[in-house]
Structure 1
């Protein structure tokens, strides 16, 4: 399992790396001293696990997790402050280790990581990816739809909900964008940024955008619904170009 250590204290990073040498299944592939460095490394190295400090200059550990585009790695918080424990588990952290990190507590955390990895493999093996020909049942309030996914041009995150855009309808379902992304065929549906997944078949126009990103214009629907313009972030633009190029 590939791990990234994120902590603004160099001594803390060195000590944690030393302790992790006792766990051969954990490969430390990089270190970051702040959230900006971490975001670049996460995008470049695709770690499976983050050992994440909370209090850091600039973005804190929670803000870092909120800024990650796409699938968030597993997280073990390492911090000198116990008052953030409840909030940490709101972010689905596997564990919360107090500094200085105790070897026994670290071993317990690593055990949770390994168990979670097994569960993740079993869960993915049981999941059927949904493509454009699949039909799904959608209920929002008193209204219901049975819609082919190929008609859904855009999925938009709205907090704990996702808004589906098809025809002139925009119902919401109680699901996170990350969990939905795991169910969708990546050859058809692309994570454009933190808030949007687009149906590649609905792209009408692509143009360069700020900071190395792209701006995608989606096709107008048969019912004449106004076209949506979605920004593909700089990080995701690199993946998009790789995916769509010869």
Structure 2
């Protein structure tokens, strides 16, 4: 387990008492018995009181609750100084959750392996924040080691009938379709695509700017997937997947400058 020495103080929030108890049991019996569960809250009002009382490192938060859902609750008490792991039976909120930089989004019934991964990521974030707050001499080195891991590294793609969680590294490129976008990505080493309701500009804002580059008004590419660049009258990019992507002439020079930090690209 990553960072097993990090001691977590967490609050469980779910309007279903049995769901809270079940999550508590899984965390302590199967994930990490050293986790300190400071409390369990069964409503937004009760959660607010316990947050003030305990100041936890993180909350495990259900989304659908009476009177106020999780997003309304977080907006009302903002700014928040704790990490959030959503635990819910509903997949339609995944995109919104990741836009809030949640540590993870876990669907019920809970998968022990998914929960273990979420707790490992949570420990990295808490460790990072603790060294930052303390201003220790180790901060610079630790930030180099784990900052890339603590940043958001996956996205929820919402199609017509499903939500798919995709790692940034598996996204090949995104193509604009009017106000919509088609995302091309790898699933089990096969290229698949999904038409989504977000515009390409919105994806440009959401995805890691050090990796994704807008090469054309209609194309956003993962630069780590570039195999070769063709510099002719109509510049284009060949991806590892064998897709050829056009590059706007006015963006070509800027793209080459951007790629100078990526020596594996054959320019």
TM-score by length of 2: 0.45
